[in-house]
Homo-oligomer: A and B are copies of this chain.
Amino acid sequence: MTSKALLYKRKILKELCFGNVLSALELSIRIEKSLPLTTRILNELVDEQILKESGYASSTGGRRPQRYSLVAGKMYVVSVAMDQLVTRIGIIDLQNCDISLSQKYNLVLSHNDASLSTLTKYINGFIKKSGIKKDKILGVGIGMPGFVDVDKGVNYSFLDHKGESIPAYIEEIIELPVFIDNDSSVIALTELKLGSAINTKNTMVINLGWGVGLGMIINGKLFRGNNGFAGEFSHIPLFENNKLCACGKSGCLETETSLLVVIEKAKKELDKGRVSIIKKIPADFEEACNTIISAAINGDQMAVELLLNMAYDLGKGIATLIHIFNPELIVLSGRGASAGNMLLAPIQHAINKYCIPRLSAYTKVIISTFSKSAELIGGAALVIENYDKKHSKQLITLLNN
């Protein structure tokens, strides 16, 4: 097979990932190739049993177009979602985007080689345990906190490998293409490919959790900035509150709006003797979040108040984004999104206060429908994003069998 035909096949497979079912004409437009060429490649892929015909689309006044989709169990991606304390690894069938298997590991991130080799061992072990052959796995996508330079493959905050490429190190050992990115970018990719931001060109995805991350979709593509550090929304100077931030400055957005701050404030209130259905805040971050959010959902006044105040302050930050980007959509995602629609009213309130009405009128704010799986699925999107760019031995094998 010529290398060009292979490229076109990849482009088609890429379009059909994540459960997409498309007609020959639609595919021809998306891969920007002529219909005869697209049809030929499509037929080859069906012969190779990687694609299947899957029914007809409804007619728009004429013959119904044949639709194509991936065959299940043929193409997988391994995805890794990391935070400071816990790492989850999953394997995802690209046909339906289901997480076939996932596992949780305790891995405290530090800025040294040790975390990296541990991580690699975990991934390797996981793949073996999954029982899925490597030639069916397109690659490994890893979302991690910190300052990640995607091009250099370096994380300046964690997993230091003497400034050398992290993906290169892992690829060496597990023999699969590896891609890394910042956790907020990965969550934004999920919203873009499978979530509320599908088909949008200009969307801001806010990752509310430990801090406040931002993934930006600009012109329909994830924007990472010049060194991959774009979206450091957490630390824009927004308040004059004299509160010291983890970054060393004061008045950062993060000093008022993050789940960590809410937890701290809740502790203080309880210490002051405030009544609440919450008796004690758990030490574990994830449990603490769940405790406060579910208390709020159950109507606990203190929890509601804390979350609403946070949302209002976040709204001021969002107002800044609207002025700068004029986005069509803002998606609230990440762990904090599980507080749900409760957050929307104060955010909208702040937007009304801090935005020129002409601008805010064009931007919708919504809550992500994804639960915790957003980052895991985004890791798959990360691999697919690079699928028609980077050389992958796996597909060649798959296509030649």
Distance between Cα atoms of A197 and B249 in the complex (Å): 30
Contact of A319 among B156, B236, B362 (CB under 8 A): B236
B237/A316 in contact, CB under 8 A: yes
The answer to whether residues A201 and B218 also contact, given A323-B233, A324-B233, A324-B324 and a CB cut-off of 8 A, is no
Q: Is A147 an interface residue (CB 8 A)?
A: yes
The secondary structure that dominates the A interface is loop
Task: Please name all residues of chain B whose beta carbon is closer than 8 Å to the beta carbon of A227 when the two chains form the complex.
Answer: 326, 362
A232/B328 in contact, CB under 8 A: no
Distance between Cα atoms of A324 and B206 in the complex (Å): 12
B362/A229 in contact, CB under 8 A: yes
Chain A 342-368 residues near chain B, CB threshold 8 A: 353-354, 356, 358-359, 362-363
Task: Please name all residues of chain B whose beta carbon is closer than 8 Å to the beta carbon of A143 when the two chains form the complex.
Answer: none
The answer to whether residues A202 and B218 also contact, given A156-B358, A231-B324, A235-B356 and a CB cut-off of 8 A, is no
Q: Is A325 an interface residue (CB 8 A)?
A: yes
Listed in ascending order, the chain A residues whose CB lies under 8 Å from chain B are 147, 156, 201-202, 214, 216, 218-219, 221, 223-233, 235-238, 240, 247-249, 316, 319-321, 323-328, 353-354, 356, 358-359, 362-363
Q: List 9 A-B contacts (CB under 8 A).
A: A156-B358, A202-B226, A216-B324, A219-B221, A226-B363, A227-B362, A229-B358, A232-B359, A320-B320
